[in-house]
Chain A
Amino acid sequence: MSITEVQFEAREAADGQSIANIEGRSQWQLTWRRLRSDKVSMIALAVIIIMVLLAITAPVFAAITHHPPNVAFPNTGENAVGLPVGPFTNGFWLGSDGTGRDLFIRILYGARISLFVGVVTTFIAACLGVSIGLMAGYFGGIIDTLLARLTDAVLAFPYVVLAIALAAVFGPSLTIIMAIITFFSWAGIARIVRGQTLSIKEKEYIEAARSIGAGPFRIMFLDILPNLMAPVLVVATLYIPAAVVFEATLSFLSLGIQPPTASWGNILSEATNFYQTSWWYVVFPALALLITTLAFNLLGDGIRDAMDPRTERILAARRMRRQRKRRRRATAALTGPTKDFPDPARQAPGI
């Protein structure tokens, strides 16, 4: 028995043991395990965490650079002809903006607004959507008809058009923007929750709960809701970037966050006059926006794949392939050239 074979035996024994005392894992543990092995999702998660940290520590950076977000520096922040200065000049890390303010600091403060709007509106919309979807699906009948029609109406409406009109009527402010975004976000979640509730409420354990006298709200929120958390979580992760984009769009059209408060949308809107001269003024806020939404979209896709039971097979296949490769390498290293003994794994096709 060669050394490698002993090693293989040992590894196989270890594998066998782990199979022997197999333990039940909850859905969340499984999802997290799968998510952790997905490099793209983990990078996306890291990017999001960095973004959040940067947003939280924005005042610290403002103190380090001595550039408060809304203060213009006409002497250092503008060149001889009054145009913005480029990145890494006069202590402006990413250059200055049209009025000589620090672009980097303003982007950080913009991140505070974007992330706050994205997360808070999605949370409220998810609560609303879940409640409405649960009620529509559980009660059925006239309540379902009314709520489902309402959902369809909101989904089909040209929301940017109406949002513009609403922002105009109520005057732009952070609260109004968040109300508008919430109003147009709950419907998608409600529709998914309704569909799931319709199938879950026919299950036997719900009947059992009803037979021991549980009330409708207890059943909806304690018995049905936990089984819905997975799809709701996936949809919510994908709604955050949508809300961030929505806020930026409204601010870009001057209907959202009003200057001098910084938001990625209004920075980009101010930048439109400086295309010919100052590329950084457009590129950096756009990049911040793109990186954030991309990270949330990638993470959302990753969570969806991790929750899909079909993914397990793909991952298992990948793991097996990797193990086989590792073994092959170990064999090659220990026994030298393997030309005379072709790897059986490579012969597979055609046999």
Chain B
Amino acid sequence: MAIIGYLIRRILTGAVVVWLVATLAFFLFFARPVITVARQLAGRAATPQVINEVISNLGLNQPIMTQYWHFLDGLLHGNLGYSYFTQESVDTMVKQDLPPTLSLVVGGVVLWLIVGLSVGIISATRARGPFDRVANVLVLIGLSMPTFVIGEFLILVIFVPLNQHGFTWIDTGYSGPSQGLVKWAGHMLLPWITLAAVQCAIYTRLTRGQLLDTLSEDYIRTARAKGLSERRVVFRHGVRAALTPVVSQLGVDVGTLLGGVVITEYVFGLGGLGQVSVQAVFQDNLPVIIGFVILAALFVVVANIVVDFLYASLDPRVRIT
């Protein structure tokens, strides 16, 4: 039952963190003059009366604590507010824009873990061999490439030439899985590679370093000495111990991952949460920006709880209390 108590405690602290982020975001964004928003909404030629009307329509003329109270009240009822421009509920927008983001994150993470871990393991077991050398060079290039440059590069080198020759399976924009899985994969392939590339490099390097350290430990020699197969030594004894720092890195990297999501969606015009929030930034559409920041915080908190459980199940020395 200790696990359930731990889980409850983690969820409570997580809720506090989300509340802190929400409050911070709220006051940060409302601490500046509301008139700029109103002026943009009302149009360039608006009279002061029209601007005042817009302000009172949006409820921006109320005392800031009242506004904050409304905001918190809405938040507790799962209501993130309404877009300044379309009056659309932010909740609806989130529901609409979640599928592309979810497709991107799930596919990207799977790709990055598979490639990053397997290349790292092969590199470590054949350290200083040709495979390891090539992998090292690629890792350094991957580490130095900004996500958006990788995206642009893939568009320039793969998407544009293929499209010019009438091969349209690989495409930009988003197409849901309901319109055909093959089509969906074609649309998502380049974004997945883009999102995974930088992370692959980090995880390859981390896995390789950890596994090399682990494989030089005494208990690995013992395992070899008692005649276990090399495969069993590497995977059952080596990788398992080497993975714990990699998993804890996973928790730290969730934030970086979200940044990568924003950029990837923007580059490929996927239209997910990231792209919508960048648009909201250009429009001064505060409720949408705050909604996205809160969702991001929620995601980070949940991911960290999952990672901690994973960590405990991998490393028998770590006890959940």
Contacts and interface: CB of A to CB of B under 8 A. Distances in A.
A286 B152 contact: yes
Interface in A143-167: 155-162, 164-167
Contacts of A255: 281
A164 B277 CA distance: 9
A198 interface: no
A175 to B, nearest CB: 16
Contact of A298 (B140, B145, B147, B164): B140
Interface in B1-50: 25, 28-29, 32
A164 B156 contact: no
Nearest to A247: B146
A17 interface: no
A29 to B, nearest CB: 28
A156 to B, nearest CB: 6
B296 A290 contact: no
Interface size class of B (residues with CB under 8 A): 35 or more
A165 B25 contact: yes
A275 interface: yes
A253 interface: yes
Contacts, number: 108
A77 interface: no
B153 A156 contact: no
- Summarize B's interface: helix, strand, loop or mixed: helix
A204 B148 CA distance: 50
A160 B152 CA distance: 18
Contacts of A252: 148, 263
Interface in B289-319: 289, 292-293, 296-297, 299-300, 304
Contact of B152 (A156, A164, A166, A282): A282
B64 interface: no
A155 B252 contact: yes
A52 interface: no
A161 B281 contact: no
A270 to B, nearest CB: 12
B259 A161 contact: yes
Nearest to A40: B140
B252 A293 contact: no
B217 to A, nearest CB: 16
B141 interface: yes
A188 to B, nearest CB: 10
Nearest 4 interchain pairs by C-beta: A160-B259, A158-B258, A168-B281, A293-B144
21 contacts: A157-B255, A157-B300, A158-B256, A158-B258, A160-B262, A161-B258, A164-B277, A164-B278, A168-B281, A249-B147, A255-B281, A268-B149, A271-B152, A275-B156, A275-B160, A282-B152, A282-B153, A283-B156, A286-B153, A290-B145, A297-B143
Interface of A: 155-162, 164-169, 241, 245, 248-249, 252-255, 268, 271-272, 275-276, 279, 282-283, 286, 289-290, 293-294, 297-298, 301
Interface of B: 25, 28-29, 32, 140-141, 143-149, 152-153, 155-156, 160, 164, 251-252, 254-256, 258-260, 262-263, 266, 277-278, 281-282, 284, 289, 292-293, 296-297, 299-300, 304
